[in-house]
Amino acid sequence: MSGKNLSLQPARLIRSGLRWTVLGAVSGVLAGVASYVFLEGLHWVTDTQTSHRALVFFLPGAGLAIGLSNRFLAGGATRGNALLIDEIHSPTTWVPRRMAPLVLVGTWTTHLFGGSAGREGTALQMSGSLSDAVGRIVGLTAEDRKIMLSAALGGGFGSVFGVPFAGAIFALEVPTVGRLNLRAFLPALVSSFIGHTTVLALGYHHTDRPLLSGSISLMTALCLVVVGIGGGIAARGFVVATHLVRRTIVRLLPSPTFRPVIGACGVLILLSLTGRDYLGLSLPLLDAAIAGTSMALSVFALKIVFTAVTIGTGFPGGEVTPLFVIGGTLGAGLAPLLNLPVPLAAATGMVATFGAAANAPLACAVMGLELFGASAVLPIGIVCAAAALASGRPSIYESQRHHTVRVTTTSVN
């Protein structure tokens, strides 16, 4: 390489860094504004659903509206997160611009009428749709779109949960298990931080979580391994249950129109048997667990069933917040049996179960540190690692790929 080319390389790197900083910031602003609108609306519909308990009986009608939307309006947007991850792997077509408004209104509708769903899927899809729309305007290449969509994942996740470092790691870790997409690190980090800052600047306040102590004994560490194994098994159960419901309903009803109606009827049957605690986000269960209230071991299992029926039959939303509730209540159920502090078991179980279900142990560990304090690195690390090992490969993200290292041998003649 000539000296002239060497002298040009730093300039190219600087220009590229500035370019991706700007594009990451644009993605972050879009993600932050979208998450703010979504979170404020979600707060209102959740309060409305709680105050007007009879709304849940209109869930089948809401399901029909969502089913008609999926059939006649959404098109490829019904693939949701799977479409975004596929486009990161092999960009072939622009993400539909209608994805953002459809998933926003659809998720609000799900929660208004009591469907058991989350919020991360909505934030990711809105961010991905809006960022790809910008990419279309500025004429990004296919390779650049991969990076921009990764940045959008970071912005959506970091802004909706208030965890900017975890958002950036999530964007690098989730598309391909076992390989971090380091090319997207700068824009994902910028997008996640800008998105988080935008949400705060607009006036939204995330729930404060208590700081955990990092001082643990050997026996406590061993008990935390048990919590992690439990979280990994619960994560696997959630993924298998959701995929089973989805495959079954698709086989029985080839048309998507009535799938959510069937799911809504299933939720109403479950409601009549168990009560209202498992509707919507179910954050009161998680808050109680982290505050130190022990839970029956049936609680996490019922949340799995409610959410699998809701998401698996086509209601929009996300899986991460239900996984928080599943992991947190599981930890609160195991804590008395293991002689662990309930807040410690609930908090670590919360993040570890999500990480196991998403095949994102690094993001889950970083999220735990952002939510519960850096001093808790040891217990969080133990539980996240144990959950990842116990869960296996099933993932809530069906388009997620697995990086395999191929070892070749050469013969010597």
Walk me through the domains of the chain, giving residue ranges and CATH numbers: 9-201 (1.10.3080.10), 218-391 (1.10.3080.10)
CB 231 within 8 A of CB 327: yes
Instruction: Please state, in angstroms and as integers, the Cα–Cα distance from residue 371 to each residue in 36, 59, 70, 162, 231, following that order.
Output: 19, 33, 35, 9, 18
Q: Which residues contact 289 (CB under 8 A, 6 or more apart)?
A: 295, 328, 329, 331, 332, 342, 343, 346, 350
Provide the β-strand partners of residue 401.
176
Q: How is 171-204 classified by DSSP, letter by letter?
A: HHHSSEET---GGGHHHHHHHHHHHHHHHHHTT-
Q: Which residues contact 59 (CB under 8 A, 6 or more apart)?
A: 113, 114, 115, 264, 267, 268
DSSP 375: G
The list of the chain residues with pLDDT below 50 reads 1-4, 6-7, 405-413
Provide the β-strand partners of residue 176.
401
CA pseudo-torsion sign 245, 249, 255, 261: negative
Q: Which residues contact 72 (CB under 8 A, 6 or more apart)?
A: none
Element (H, E) at 401: strand 401-402
Cα–Cα distance for residue pair 84/170, rounded to 1 Å? 14
* Radius of gyration from C-alpha coordinates of the chain: 21
176: left (phi over 0), alpha (psi -120 to 50) or beta: beta
pTM for the full predicted model: 0.93
Tokens 């993600």 correspond to 31
Model confidence pLDDT, tens digit, residues 315-373: 998 899 999 999 999 999 999 999 999 999 999 999 999 999 999 999 999 999 999 99
CB 325 within 8 A of CB 282: yes
Amino acid 9: pLDDT: 79
Cα–Cα distance for residue pair 306/169, rounded to 1 Å? 29
Amino acid 407: pLDDT: 35
Cα–Cα distance for residue pair 152/174, rounded to 1 Å? 13
Helix 377-391 to helix 361-372 angle, to the nearest 10 degrees?
Answer: 150
Amino acid 138: pLDDT: 92
Amino acid 62: pLDDT: 97
Tokens 């990764």 correspond to 150
